Structure 1
Amino acid sequence: MKKQTFPIRLGAAAVFLLAVLLSGAITLLALWLQPNALRTVLAGFRASPMLIVLNALPVGLTVLTLTFLFRNVFFAAAVTELAVCGLSIANRIKIEVRDEPVFPRDLGLLKEVGSAVGTYDIRFPWAQAGAVVFLCAVLVLLGLFLRCKVEEPYSPRRDWAIRLAGAAGSASVLTALVLTVYASNDLYNSFPASNPYYVPSVFNELGFPYCFTHHFTTYTVDKPAGFDRREAEAWDSADAAPAGQAPRVHVVMVMDEAFSDLTDDPAFTYGEDDDPLPNLHALRQDPNCIAGHIVVPGFAGGTANTEFDVLTGMQTNALSATTTSAFRAVNRDLDSLYRVFDADGYHTSFLHPGDAWFYNRENVYRWLGAEEIEFAADMKDLTYKGRWATDESLAALIEETFETAVQNGETLFNYTTTIQNHMSYTADKYGAGYVFPPVQTSAELSDAAQTLLSVYIEGARDADAMLGRLWRYFAAQDEPVVLAFFGDHLPYLGDDRLAYRELGVALSPQEPGTEAFLRSYETPYVIWANDAAAQALNWNTAPVRCCGDGGRISACYLGSTVLELTGRVQESPWFQYLTDLRRELPVIQKDTVMLSDRSLTSVEALTPDQQALLERLRCWSYYKLKYKDVTE
């Protein structure tokens, strides 16, 4: 009998079978490493068998690519196992310490990861990591004794040609799948998840390999044409006024969920006695009030995108050619209003009576520089209307936050995002049997539109009452206070804009270049100063009163407007630039631009100087998102 010699040479069929089996084992190990129980994941896979393929396929194609390169299926599996399971462990740790999974974009943040490790109390899964290392060692050992056959007669040139062609072919198939099948949001959203809005839960239930691969094409930030990092760095390092020179006035900004002045449309027949928005209308007449409309990133949704635009001055719609979620594109410290006020010695806070994980706010507001962050779980004495925390109770919390700051000798900058008037506007929103005041309109409404409007307008009344309460409260204070109150987007009132159509409200969110297009994204804002703040800031001579469209501006300008009114816009080259841009191009909404004379045009029709100003906005934003080192 012929004596067996090592290494043993395996044929193509055996190698392929081993690649399939090892890929399956690596996939199972990656799933086992996740925070939830493996049996729970597999139970979900039995209900949706396609998830088995979607999780295993990228692992298998990676093994196949490396098998061609190494000419050794075990070495290929060892490298793949170390990479996939290493990412899976990182995902587990990140979910546990930050309630956020690992995304492909995190691979470019190794420096930030290294500096952040010491700031968290991390429980490393040593046993699981040991299992990964042990299996890797076993695979390497097997690879030393079991190798692929080499065609005889051996030709190095032909051998490398086959290896490179095979690896390129396998990698090309994987790339094509990432850009097509794995990029499909329809497919991704078709799988049931216990909470589709909670991304860590989706990763746990649909499988880490699939979800990680899917997110190669999500939350993208496009590099602008002509971007020059050194040029952007020079813009950002331009001379600025010293911090702490502006008058110290408290600043409270309230972004109210779906707040709009829709009921001002002629289709409604409300009078003074039943006006849903009496406080907004009265405040607009106050000599200390600056009022208008902001043009927000999205129609009938996208709350966090408006937060991003207002607080950072960047534009969600300019980040990517595809639809993106601005807060999901944030993964590092950024400049924001919080940092400007913090540099002036303010106590900065964020309040939101929702879940910390939603839109990843818990992490994003820390990256934006907020000193104090509170969500529903942290708030005492919240009252609810149905299942929604009321605007009234949040107003009380704002007052309490203000009083605490005053007692501590601090000046407050607060940004609050409400939640009460969030969709859906169904008859049971506030509990069975809740009676809604009838809608006063001259239009003939269907039952569906009548319900949508009556429920929405009830929430708008409560939002207006919150505005009135804060107005009266701060008007009675000796401390100087500036209050900004605005909506995040128009309400969603039925498929294909059902209630809007029946009212005769002309909205065209998909037809740029028209007034109906801009109106689809408009919400009201008021910026008001109490008497003490008006005196401290020379409010009546504020230059912002006469800029732009007499009040219509893009949401990305609202923050710089507040800074200008409070005398500190020159402390930041970025916000000073936005102030200058606002006067030249007060509204930028995708490809539609409104000029200072209120006329509408397109980006392509701008003068070369105007196009250069707009290009700076995109290039500077990209620099901030990708490169700027924000130091505390």
Structure 2
Amino acid sequence: MGKLKRFYRKYLKQSLVLCALLALGMNLFIETMARHSLIVSLGFFLQYPAVFLFNTFIIFATYSIVLLFRRRIFCYVIISLPWLALGITNGIILLNRMTPFTVKDLANAGDGLSIATNYFSSGTLILVIIGILVSIAALVFLFLFAPKKREKVNYKRSIAAVLVIAIGFFGIWQVAVKTKTVETFFGNLAYAYQDYGVPYCFISTWLNTGIHKPANYSENLVKNIFNGDELNDKGVYQPKKSDQDEKYPNILFLQLESFIDPKLVEGFSYSRDPMPNFRQMMKEYSSGYLTVPSVGAGTANTEFESMTGISVKFFGPGEYPYKSVLLEKTCESIPFNLKYMGYSTHAIHNHRGAFYGRNKVFPNLGYDTFTSLEYMNNVVKTARNWAKDGLLTEEIIDAMKSTKGRDYIYTISVQGHGKYPTEQVLENPAITVTEAPSEEERWQYEYYANQVYEMDLFVKELTDSLSRFDEDVVLVMYGDHLPALDMTEESMKTGDLFSTQYIIWNNFGMKKEDKNLTSYQLGAEVLDQVGIHEGLITSYHQNYQGTSAYMRNLETLAYDMLYGNAYIYGGKLPFKKTKMKMGIKQIKIDKIVQIGDDYYIKGQNFTEYSKISLDGEVLNTIYLGPTILGLREKVNPEDVERMKISQVEKNKEILSTTE
């Protein structure tokens, strides 16, 4: 301890100098973790010194707070921890997906922890927990025993210094933006982090949220967007209820997780075609490339765009509307608009119902039902513990049969999800990689290609079933984003990391019309092809796409609907939150049976996520089959008749309870 004190007095007494050196080293560490290379990080410093030093100053400004305290070593460590956490977390995330770490990811922390075992071994997670506990113990030790400044803090001088640095921070930030050293709009989040530095971009994802208020925002500005008959005599849009769904087909969307053509990636060859059925359908039905808003992750944002027709680029960088505005209010969407026409609306997802908060968001998007993994039986898992997609055929058909009229069904698959193993995990795979740049990539792409192959078989099974259905059906299929496989624009034959492919399959002979679209245009295009023009955003895309103010006016409409005064609706949103039912099939209790001291509940449509509950408390339950559950704890016999069945997801959230 004596040596530490002498070292501190000799070298570390000049606090601002030390702050600058620590900031420089910390920024180098953060960029090295992001780029997974010290050499590449140093190259970034040499190529863009102004950007690197700007990010260093951001970190330096936070270190300057130590001037206000005597326990400076302890303060240096405390301030360093968030920056270290940022660097390490971002580095780990970029090993598993292609989108960097943002403040918005903190809102998804619960979702991330729920699937941590799909990415990391139990041993790794235990080591992380041990590391956290050791760090806490070390902090306590530092607080108690680390040397502190002998002299009292001159608060007038220290506060003045901190204020000068703070003012300098805001001034330098403005100069960096005005001189285009950094940008405030991130067209590609991954590239922005590489070009403008991790600290600046991470903070920007915190400061820049929602949709910015348009210049000269007013009622006239909003209403003058339209020059046709989209608005009523009062110059506003008011949806009208009708019962005309029988004139139109069932409309199905199938969003395929991380689904692309593996043959579009340079440097790989396969023993057979991984997606022969999808490829053949692209030749027979309307198809093309689909520009999606994310790469390697971000499924919920592709959903948002295709359901609402609104681009997520209008929001803050890395923002998920599911985790922000859609938790609070409704939004015009295809489900809402089709409900006005008499359609029933369903969402299906073979993963956790609470993931991305879908069980809370979907009522604000107009869904009548949501069938998630917790309501499904006969679930088969991949080697990476994701549910396979084959069971979705039955779920989709059941949803269509559950109503007399037409249905809109939005299905989100999960089988293609990463992480993709760097070692062999599949025995006797249907497809083998015959050529790859490296051994690790061979196993990653072999695993991925086999998931695509099985998803392609599911697509064939689904379309075969729908072709026999006695109602007209349109099925839109597309990949939500590229898989997290370290792809680059140079490695893609398309030259684009944001392009997947789509097909508009049907069972009644629609004309083939090929074109490239964005995911926020897809819904309007499909509806246009079947003759539906209901909905303000839908008609906007159908009538104004290609005009000079197309994107600017779309952003104005999005702001007005979600954050503004709803001028376009006459000042009040016409869409009311639905009373969404979880699951298509009714879960019910037929009778409660007592055998000795044990109770068993017989009923219908139980799953492995069905739990016996009493007054909102989940009881210890054993799943014995879709018609019987066993109670594994003692209850008061007088309470037995009040027992119910709750569907409880992985993180213990109750999704629904029988009445």
TM range (shorter): 0.5 to 0.7
1:284 equivalent in structure 2: 282
2:522 to 540, 558, 578: 558
Matches of 1:234 and 1:358, distance apart in 2: 39
Letter in 2 for 1:580: N
Aligned-partner Cα distance in 2 for 1:529–1:578: 22
Aligned to 2:315: 319
2:358 aligns with: 361
Alignment of 1:573-592 (within 5 A): 573-582=536-545, 584=546
Evaluate the alpha carbon distance shift between residue 479 and residue 437 of structure 1 in structure 2; reply closer, same or farther with a 3 A threshold: closer
Q: Is 2:548 the partner of 1:614?
A: no
1:530 paired to 2:507: yes
Tell me the TM-score normalised to structure 2 length.
0.51
| Corresponding position of 1:188 | none
Q: Secondary structure at the match of 1:227?
A: coil
1:266, distance to aligned residue in structure 2 (A): 7.3
Query: Separation in 2 of the partners of 1:53 and 1:437?
Result: 47
The residue aligned with 1:397 is 395
Q: Aligned in 2, Cα 1:354/1:251: closer, same or farther, shift over 3 Å?
A: same
For residues 469 and 342 of structure 1, the distance between their equivalents in structure 2, rounded to whole angstroms, comes to: 28
Q: Secondary structure at the match of 2:482?
A: coil
- Aligned residue runs from structure 1 range 42-191, under 5 A: 50=78
* Unaligned runs of at least 5 residues, structure 1: 1-45, 55-94, 101-164, 181-212, 508-515, 585-609
Counterpart residue number, 2:217: 227
**SS of structure 2 residue aligned to 1:291:** strand
Give the aligned residue type for 1:505. M
Give the number of equivalent residue pairs.
380
Q: Does residue 1:248 correspond to 2:280, yes or no?
A: no
User: CA 1:218 to 1:466, structure 2 compared with 1: closer, same or farther past 3 Å?
Assistant: farther
| Residue 56 of structure 2: aligned partner | none
Q: Tell me the residue number matched to 1:85.
A: none
Per-residue CA shift, 1:176-200, capped at 9, x if unaligned? 8xx99xxxxxxxxxxxxxxxxxxxx
1:426–1:268 distance in 2 versus 1, CA, 3 Å: closer
Give the 3-state SS of the residue equivalent to 1:285 in structure 2.
Answer: helix
CA distance in 1, matches of 2:353, 2:214: 32
Matches of 2:80 and 2:223, distance apart in 1: 46
Compared with structure 1, are the counterparts of its residues 350 and 315 closer, same or farther at alpha carbon in structure 2 (3 Å cutoff)? same
Determine which of 497, 509, 530 is the counterpart of 1:520.
497
Cα distance in 2 for residues equivalent to 1:440 and 1:314: 39
How far apart are the structure 2 equivalents of 1:435 and 1:428? Answer: 14
Shift of 1:613: 2.3
Shift of 1:418: 0.7
1:294 maps to what in 2?
290
The code of the aligned residue for 1:317 comes to K
8 A contact 1:334–1:367 mirrored in 2: yes
Which deviates more from structure 2 when the two are superposed, residues 214-223 or residues 248-257? 214-223
Structure 2 unaligned segments of length 5 or more: list them: 1-73, 83-106, 112-158, 175-202, 567-572, 577-659
CA 1:226 to 1:481, structure 2 compared with 1: closer, same or farther past 3 Å? same
**8 Å contact from structure 1 (residues 423, 491) kept in 2:** yes
Matched, 1:426 2:421: yes
Secondary structure, counterpart of 1:385 in structure 2? coil
**Which of the residues 473, 488, 495 maps onto 2:480?**
488
Partner SS state of residue 388, structure 1:
coil
2:492 to 479, 499, 505: 505
Q: 1:618 to 1:294 in 2, by over 3 A?
A: same
Cα distance in 2 between the residues matched to 1:344 and 1:356: 27
SS of the equivalent of 1:631 reads coil
Deviations 1:37-96 (A, max 9, x none): xxxxxxxxx9x9949999xxxxxxxxxxxxxxxxxxxxxxxxxxxxxxxxxxxxxxxx9x
Identical residues among aligned pairs (%): 21
Q: How many Å separate the matches in 2 of 1:506 and 1:428?
A: 26
Provide Cα deviations, 1:355-402, integer angstroms capped at 9, x if missing partner.
233222222211111111122122233222231111101222112222
Larger helix proportion of the pair = 1
Distance 2:525 2:318 in 1: 27
- What secondary structure sits across from 1:492 in the alignment? coil
AA aligned opposite 2:280: A
CA–CA distance in structure 2, aligned partners of residues 436 and 51 of structure 1: 50
Quick one: distance in 2 between partners of 1:450 and 1:250?
A: 41
Cα separation, 2, equivalents of 1:563 and 1:244: 17
- Alpha-carbon shift at residue 559 of structure 1 (Å): 0.7
Tell me the secondary structure at the aligned position of residue 402 of structure 2: helix
Partner residue in 1 for 2:259: 259
Q: Residue 484 of structure 1 contacts residue 528 of structure 1 at CA under 8 Å; is this kept in 2?
A: yes
Structure 1 residues 235-288: Cα deviation after superposition (integer angstroms, max 9, x where no partner): 5871479644462321111000011123256755558xx3211111222233xx
